[in-house]
Amino acid sequence: MIRVLVVDDSAVVRRILTDQLQRADDIEVVGTAPDPYVARDKIVQLKPDVVTLDIEMPRMDGLTFLSRLMKHYPLPVIVVSSLTPAGSEAAMRALELGAVDVISKPGAAYSVGDVAVQLIDRIRAAAMARVRRPGEGAAGRSVAAGVLSRIQTTDKILAIGASTGGTEAIRAILEVLPATTPATVIVQHMPEHFTAAFARRLNELCAMEVREAGGGELLRPGLALIAPGNHHLLITRQGAQYVAQVKDGPRVHHQRPAVDVLFNSVAKYAGVNAVGVLLTGMGADGAAGLLAMRQAGARTIAQDQASCVVYGMPKAAAQMGAAELVLPLERIPSGILETFHAAPRAARPAAHASAIASPVE
């Protein structure tokens, strides 16, 4: 059983989350707390495996509590936040402080049932997570950017996919990639509205321009697009240029956006001109798409077990032979640049044809 402590100042929210979580056979809500001071005592007393944490609370805000918790008693924390701009920005800060995931509160945008299904999945992933203090396991601060002077062309694509623990892994990679990095498309499993805050935060920290994708953008070196929450991100071609597409469509691996949808489109339209990177996360989303990319001639990288928060998606990719390289997080930025500089591999059309089918294209 996964033992969960629910921390929220709203008695209604505490009751709703408790009732929904108790329906899962493998989850037990061992307690609730209306504020961080009560939560502190119950964490020591009940020793939960996972904590769900509201950010806006009386007596001590959730970010201050999270910072102290990760310093003195680190354990997996899932932030349950409102979809307001302030809530989204605070949620990004919580991920930087060590929270393993973020999910929206039930409300107008997401029903109780929708949130419950997502939260149960996130709790299962969090229970498996390697909890790290802020800054631990970050990528190296410098990479050999000189090789990019030889690959500055609009026909290269970098595709990145991640889930639990991925926000900090993506940040660690993009922060050290130069502004001349080939056009980059990213899927991070994250609710609607939080992805916009995530893109804004990355744009402040990175040499590349980082934006939430709106659809229709021409992909170019130095531009990174984040898939918007609750929508799939794909690429296609208009003449000699790659173009971003944002679509609805069914969930894939229970996810929208889904990494497989993005990777399959990159395999189809970019092939040997692409590099795919699959990062930390629970489940198998992205593994089949990474294999399709490799079979289409793309170079492929998966994060190694030791540096993952949850070794699920990269493990599935490694097991099916989708990953050409398996690297620790700190080696992935230089691995990306070196791989772009390497000679392209030959595609294998017969295997590729059956692997790149996408339910949303």
Q: Which residues are catalytic?
A: 163, 189, 285
Q: Are 166 and 198 in contact (CB under 8 A)?
A: no
* Helix boundaries (H) for 128-258: 166-174, 194-205
- In single-letter form, the type of residue at position 116 comes to A
- The H-assigned helical ranges of the chain are 11-21, 36-46, 62-72, 85-97, 112-127, 166-174, 194-205, 259-269, 287-295, 313-319, 332-341, 349-355
Rounded to whole angstroms, how far apart are CA atoms 135 and 45? 29
**80 and 17 Cβ atoms separated by less than 8 Å:** yes
Angle at 229 between CA 223 and CA 233, to 5 degrees: 50
Q: What contacts 12, CB < 8 A, 6 or more positions away?
A: none
Helix ranges, 158-277 (H): 166-174, 194-205, 259-269
- CB 166, CB 194: distance < 8 Å: no
Number of residues written out for the chain: 361
- Comparing CA positions, the residue from 209, 124, 122, 206 lying closest to residue 166 is 122
**Close Cβ partners of 15 (under 8 Å, ≥ 6 residues apart):** none
> What amino acid is encoded at 80 in this protein?
V
* Angle between helices 85-97 and 194-205 in degrees, nearest 10: 60
